Amino acid sequence: MKVLAAMSGGVDSAVAAARAVDAGHEVVGVHLALSRMPGTLRTGSRGCCTVEDSMDARRAADVMGIPFYVWDFSERFKADVVDDFIAEYEAGRTPNPCMRCNEKIKFAALLEKALDLGFDAVVTGHYAAVREDADGNRELHRAADWAKDQSYVLGVLTAEQLAHCLFPLADTPSKAEVRAEAAARGFSVASKPDSHDICFIPDGDTRGFLAERLGAEPGVILDRDGTAVGRHEGAAAFTIGQRKGLNLGVPSVDGRPRYVLDIRPKENTVVVGPREALDLAEVAGTRFSWAGLPPADAFEGFACHVQVRAHSEPVPATARVTEGELVIRPDVPLNGVSTGQTAVLYQGTRVLGQCTIDRTVSASPVRA
C-alpha cells in the first residue's frame, strides 16, 4: 500500500513509520506544522509540533530513506482546536484538545488530504489496534500495553476512518521496547522525552493563556446554599473538580476541602462544595459517534464500560441512544466530570464509540 506516515518528531511515530517500511509499504513521511509561531521551540517535554520537532522528524525520515514533507495545518488547527478550546472554557465546559486534534486534524484534515493525493492509509504512532470481526468489519481496540494505551483519544474515529488507519505499535509490549528499537535503527529521537500538557500552551500556564484571550473579571465564589465564601479573578480558568487555588475566605463548617461543582460564566460565579457533590448518576451527549458498527441494541440499552479521561479506570455502565442523545448511566457514580469532556465506551478491549458530554445528572444536586 501507499501510506502517509504522520511524523510528529517523537520516537513513537518514527518507529511506526519504520515498521510500515519494513512491512513493504510505500511510505511518505509528513510533519504537520500546527503552530502559528513557527520559531517556537519546545521546553523540555512540554509541547510538540515545533521547528525542533519537524527537524527531528526529517532526520528520522532521512535514516529510513523515505520522502518527507512539512504541511502547514496551522490555520485549521487554530480554528478547530485552539479556538474551540477557548470557546468551551468561555462556556464553562472543560474540553479535551487532544481528542479534538485527532478528530479534526489528524484523522479528518490529514486523512482527507492523504486520500485525495492517492494514499491508501495514514500511519501514526498511537498505541491502539484496528482489528476485524468475523465478517471483516473494522473495530478499534486497546493496545497490548495498557499503560500506554491511547484508544481513548482515538474514540472519535469512525468506521470509514478506521478503514484507512495503520497503528504499527498496537502489539508492542512496552515503550521501553520502542525506544530500544529506535536506538537500534539509529534514530536520534530514541531518548527524546515524551511530550505532555497542551501543545499550544507549552509553558503549562492554562489560566494565563485563557485570561489573555478571555479577560479575567473578578467574581464571587458561592457555597451550595448560595453563601459567598470567596472571590475569584475569572471564572473561565476553573475546572469542575478543582480543589487547589480556590483561596476561599470562609472555611467549610466541617473543615473538609471544597471542590468546584459548577461554573456559571454568564453570572461570572463559581460554586464549590464537598467532594461527594461531584458524583454523577448520568452523563449524556448529542455529539456521539461509533468506532465501527454500532451496538445492535443501541436503542434498547447495552452493558459497557465508560472511560472519561485518557488515563482513568473504565467504569461499568449501561448506555443507550434515546431522543438523539447517547445516555450513559455508570454503575458507580462518576466523580468530578464536566460537560465538554469525552466519554468513551468499551466492551472488553473494543472501543464502541464516544460522546462529548453535553449534560450531566448529579447524584447530589447543587442547591445554589
pLDDT at 368: 42
pLDDT digit string, tens, across residues 98-152: 899 999 998 999 999 999 999 999 999 999 999 999 999 999 999 998 888 999 9
For helices 11-22 and 51-64, give the axis angle rounded to 10 degrees.
Answer: 20
pLDDT at 265: 87
Active site residues: 101, 199
Q: Cell digits for 355?
A: 460522546
With a cut of 80, say whether residue 260 has pLDDT above it. yes
Q: Is the dihedral of CA 271, 256, 339, 8 positive or negative?
A: positive
Q: Are the CB atoms for 86 and 70 separated by under 8 Å?
A: no
Residue 186 φ/ψ region, left for φ over 0, alpha for ψ in the -120 to 50 degree band, beta for the rest: left
**What gap in Å lies between CA 354 and CA 351, rounded to an integer?**
8
Ordered by where they begin, the domains of the chain are 2-125+168-185 (3.40.50.620), 216-273 (2.30.30.280), 278-362 (2.40.30.10)
Where does the pLDDT of residue 36 fall: very low under 50, low under 70, confident under 90, or very high at 90 and above? low
Q: Provide the CA 163 distance to its chain's centre, in angstroms.
A: 21
Q: Cell digits for 10?
A: 517523537
Instruction: Give me the phi and psi of 306, to 5 degrees please.
Output: -115, 135
User: Distances from the Cα of 197 to the Cαs of 42, 45, 98, in angstroms?
Assistant: 12, 9, 10
Q: Are the CB atoms for 367 and 261 separated by under 8 Å?
A: no
Strands 26-33 and 2-6: parallel
Supply the pTM of this predicted model.
Answer: 0.91
Where does the pLDDT of residue 206 fall: very low under 50, low under 70, confident under 90, or very high at 90 and above? confident
**What gap in Å lies between CA 89 and CA 234, rounded to an integer?**
11
Q: Is the dihedral of CA 193, 198, 202, 207 positive or negative?
A: negative
Where does the pLDDT of residue 196 fall: very low under 50, low under 70, confident under 90, or very high at 90 and above? low
